[in-house]
A and B are shown apart, each in its own frame.
Chain A
Amino acid sequence: MDWDRVYDVLVVGGGNAALCAAVTARQAGASVLVLEHAPKAFRGGNSRHTRNLRAMHTAPTSVLTEQYLEDEYWDDLLRVTGGQTDEELARLTIRATAEALPFMEACGVRFQPSLTGTLNLSRTNAFFLGGGKALVNAFYATAEKLGVEILYDTEVASLRLDDGFVRQAEIISRGFPRTVRAKTVVASSGGFQANLEWLKQGWGPAAENFLIRGTPYAKGRVLRDLLDQGVASVGDPTQCHAVAIDGRAPKFDGGIVTRLDCVPFSIVVNRHGERFYDEGEDVWPKRYAIWGRLVAQQPDQVAYAIIDSRSERLFMPSVFPAIKSDTIEGLAEKLGLEPSKLAETVRGFNAAAGHGSFDNSRLDGCHTEGLTPAKTNWARRIEAPPFSGYPLRPGITFTYLGVKVDRNARVLMQDGRPTANLFASGEIMAGSILGKGYLAGFGMAIGTVFGRIAGREAAKHARN
């Protein structure tokens, strides 16, 4: 490693967006250095946990069926964000996803038909064979083959901005402080969801009990550093994408296997044994993202989903076995709840439930009467032992706060002026386009599209 070398492009981060930028810049002839905070085994940021790319296409292509056109894609995005998006950047992203898929294939990423249980996505989303880590492996192999230099275990502490110009990067490489110089910098270092102290600014002490679904390396250090130096921000600084996951999940990096899909067929109680929200409001894919927030608002940020034996097989298995008992009181004891209180809640629910016929395959309208809060679908009595319980906790996927960029991925200052040589891609700027909610495979779409733009523009700028 030649620490005196001035690289054409310095890429901060090691996930999909970073690698797309690095590969694109290198293909354009630039010398590229990638700084990945994680050690090699955990490289790839949250991309490691992803599984698909939402891609526009005018005809069946690769593993995607039928067609998925710009306007429908845009409508889908508008719906989930409630308008908190930037139409110009969003449409630019959407159109470019058509090219993103072949780009990934050229980089060695392999695709597979839609996974079992996700047939609803077979038209819109291309699934990575083996998931996100396989994609990350393919990108690193391609980058290495092209001659991109990669440093693992290397965190960027600060990008010194001087009148909109990044002079150098202060880094900590394998524990040693260093300085790296480059003509241009691409910041692709993600959000701050793994930084509990920062999350507490928006959530208070409750954030202590949050579980982080993805990489523990998304500390937001570069994001903080840039915002402190006058870079323009986008996105609500307090908000994060939070879903309810199995409360027994590891603090970080639990990923997909910690999800729990049983809520619609259950009653969910807090630690006092009381229900607090309509579990059957809508089908789970449309509701799972509100449950993180709901659980976060409960005492100790914990809740418990209770089902009876008839519902055991109606949802995807979680990695942790259900906690079981032949009686509600017995289950309450095992879950650490007050047995008489839980029994009373279940009795109250059962007395009000069962109006309509239960059908797990659709919104069945089987509801409660005279119960607050009501359960409006799948309100079947919980009466067939053994009973199963799953603890729930908020699982944080990503944060919305980011740096503001223009259509060339160039980072903007608070006064609206563009920075001279700083670009951004991926979660660190995704808040510009996805200000609220989530659309499956759209994070990877933004990362890939803006990664390529940032890589192209950075290489071009370095040449001039």
Chain B
Amino acid sequence: MFAYYLDLALRSLKRNPALTALMILTIGFGVAASMTTWSVFRAVSGDPIPWKSSKLYVPQVDMWGPGAKRTGPGSSDEGPPDQLDYPDAIALMRDHRAKLQSAMYQISPSVVPQQPGKHPLNVGGEAVYSEFFPMLDVPFKYGSGWSADADASRAQVVVISDVFNRKIFGGGDSVGKTMNIDGHDYRVVGVLDHFNPQPRFYDIINTGGNGFAAEAQDVFLPFQTAIAAEMAANGNTSCYKSPEQPGFAGFLQSSCIWISYMVQLDSAADAQRFREYLEGFARQHHPDWAPSVNLLDLPHWLEHEHVVPPDTKISLYVALGLLLVCLVNVAGLLLAKFMRRASEIGVRRALGASRREIYTQFLIEAGMVGLAGGALGLVLTGIGISGVGWVLPRDIAALARLDWSLLLTTLIVAIVATMLAGLYPTMRAAAVQPAWQLKSN
């Protein structure tokens, strides 16, 4: 029976090729527009570390006090600032109350290549504590992170990305090799496997735009080693007051905020304990005002930092609006088409076809339009995603990918949407009174 209905649907669609083409084009464009914007939205709103995000928390402490006006990226007038100053970050690290924790800041040192005649180059990196690597499940290709001792002794060690390993050492196991960073020799202790989470959730504020970066960070140095080398913070620095003392030492003592912080807390009870500790911390270190602290888990932190660009949401809504218009359009066309065949339906009904069979027949016809529209939509989505780099910033556009799940979603959305659009026309077709149709002919 199904094959028969397919045949009927094909014949019917062939009878009005222009109308069929119009419906297919409408579905194709509508689905492609919404799937393309969806792929971007999915990319920017995804969880960068889904297996662990509920255990990772970002602590905030108010080191400026009430009345301090905050104007800076990701800042609001309410609540504690989004970054830490050096004294608080160090004190938190010293207390070491979470299972794993790391203060971190973005650096941009220069690396002098070994080959003579090559100009020095600038690399992006992060100064972190040893617990950064196990806390974020950072994958290693060779070697590993450094030890807590290396943190304390300010060891000249470095972990490099796989891309940078290829660029500087030509790939391979480079553990043990030395590298000249900002004029000092560092020993490579680890080479990362691909590690470029989007958004760069561990240091959102210091990552330009909304926390998305097209390129992975190339070097990871021990935090205290970077401080000892006086490496400048390359990200956002906000000062409520200018540092009292000059130089890097004065900057470290100041209440300027430039450090990100992340902790791992395995249970809600741990989180509660840490929150209480944080309040005590604020009371102890900033006794002049009521403690103002915050401890957000990663998903809430990403929300707090407005990681999903508003433009991405608006585009998605507008594209969904387009899809809705396309569906209304297809519904209108299907209705006209089906109602025109009232006499045919009348004959079929009179010959014994049940309502249910009419239903099936016409839904299959709608489904076929949906399938064809979906196939066209796939092609157009492919074009849309490759064209998205032309329209959107590179850091965001690079995230939009065509994968199996998107392909499948596109097809399913097209078919389901078209069948939904075909529901009312089909209902009307099935409601046709056979006697009336036969009589009028």
Chains A and B come from one and the same complex? no
| Interface set of B (CB-CB < 8 Å, partner A) | none
| Interface set of A (CB-CB < 8 Å, partner B) | none
